[in-house]
Amino acid sequence: MPMRNVELGTLVHPDAGSHPGVVMIHDVWGLSDHTRDLAQRLAAEGFAVLAIDLYRRDPGLEIQDPGAFIRELSDPQVEADIALAVRFLQDEAASRGRKVGVVGFCMGGMYALLAGCGVPGVAAVAPFYGLLSHEHGLLYTPGGLDRARKPRAPLDAARELACPLLGCFGADDALIPSSDIEELRRRARATGQPVEIVVYPGAGHAFMNDTRPDAYRPEAAADAWRRMVAFLRAQL
């Protein structure tokens, strides 16, 4: 299965032909071996996957406080990068002429949702435990956020959802209040788009990450993966 580094990140896809495209967005810690492993797994299911590297402009980046880092990250810049990744897959031989979806984890899940609400060419989004609100949770800060970097909360953007959505969350996620998840379900469904929000009892943040024994929940991860693959096959 071909895998190569490209300007935007790592591309992996089945051997021959054109396949549905997926932009995969890493968590706050960057494009890791874990993310590449997920990309390979998804490619083995028949997708051309671009695991984007949002930090490629700053290869020496060190993150001390993940919450503070995300709060300072420019959402418009990230959305522009996702738009570049979508166009890359639309032009790439392994996915030319096929639809493109976006999948993301934690911070990447937040950006997957935002992509489905404003990035042209996105046909489906599957955020995993994506951050949702500026009012509480990890994105909250007492002084408020810089509106240039954080012009709208994902929950506000959800009113403009423009493609099908599968959202997977853990019931015990300390970073995402359950009220935010329910509000996402309500606002996204009000758009008329197909929406499925799944909440896993006994799972917390990063339940898909099998490199973190403290967080990984094998049963929830297996079910969420199955749902995601079926969802992407149906929509792309």
Confidence band, pLDDT 50/70/90 cuts, at residue 40 = very high
CB 102 within 8 A of CB 164: no
Output the pLDDT for position 220. Answer: 98
- 1 pLDDT more than 90: no
The whole-angstrom separation of Cα 227 and Cα 235 is 12
Of the candidates 170, 107, 177, the residue with the CA atom closest to the CA atom of residue 137: 177
Output the pLDDT for position 204. Answer: 97
Which CATH class name applies to 3-235? Answer: alpha beta
Output the pLDDT for position 60. Answer: 85
CB 170 within 8 A of CB 205: yes
Q: Which amino acid is at 111?
A: Y
- 16 pLDDT more than 90: no
DSSP readout, the chain? --EEEETTEEEE--SSS---EEEEE--TT-S-HHHHHHHHHHHHTT-EEEEE-TTTT-TT---S-HHHHHHHS-HHHHHHHHHHHHHHHHHSTTTTTS-EEEEEETHHHHHHHHHTTT-TTEEEEEEES----SSSSTT--TT---TTT--S-HHHHGGG--S-EEEEEETT-TTS-HHHHHHHHHHHHTTTS-EEEEEETT--TTTT-TT-TTT--HHHHHHHHHHHHHHHHHH-
Output the pLDDT for position 158. Answer: 98
**pLDDT tens, residue by residue, 51-107:** 999 999 998 899 999 999 999 999 999 999 999 999 999 999 999 999 999 999 999
- 221 pLDDT more than 90: yes
Confidence band, pLDDT 50/70/90 cuts, at residue 177 = very high
Output the pLDDT for position 118. Answer: 94
**pLDDT tens, residue by residue, 113-140:** 999 999 999 999 999 999 999 998 889 9
CB 190 within 8 A of CB 159: yes
Domain residue limits, the chain: 3-235
- 146 pLDDT more than 90: yes
Q: In what order do the strands lie in the sheet with 165-170?
A: 3-6, 9-12, 48-52, 21-25, 100-105, 122-128, 165-170, 195-200
The whole-angstrom separation of Cα 4 and Cα 38 is 15
Q: What is the pTM of this model?
A: 0.97
- 201 pLDDT more than 90: yes
What is the longest distance spanned by two Cα atoms in the chain? 52
Count CA within 13 A, CB hemisphere, residue 166: 21
Range 16-26 average pLDDT: 96
Range 209-222 average pLDDT: 97
Share of the chain above pLDDT 90, in %: 96
Confidence band, pLDDT 50/70/90 cuts, at residue 214 = very high
The whole-angstrom separation of Cα 130 and Cα 169 is 8
Mean pLDDT of the chain: 96
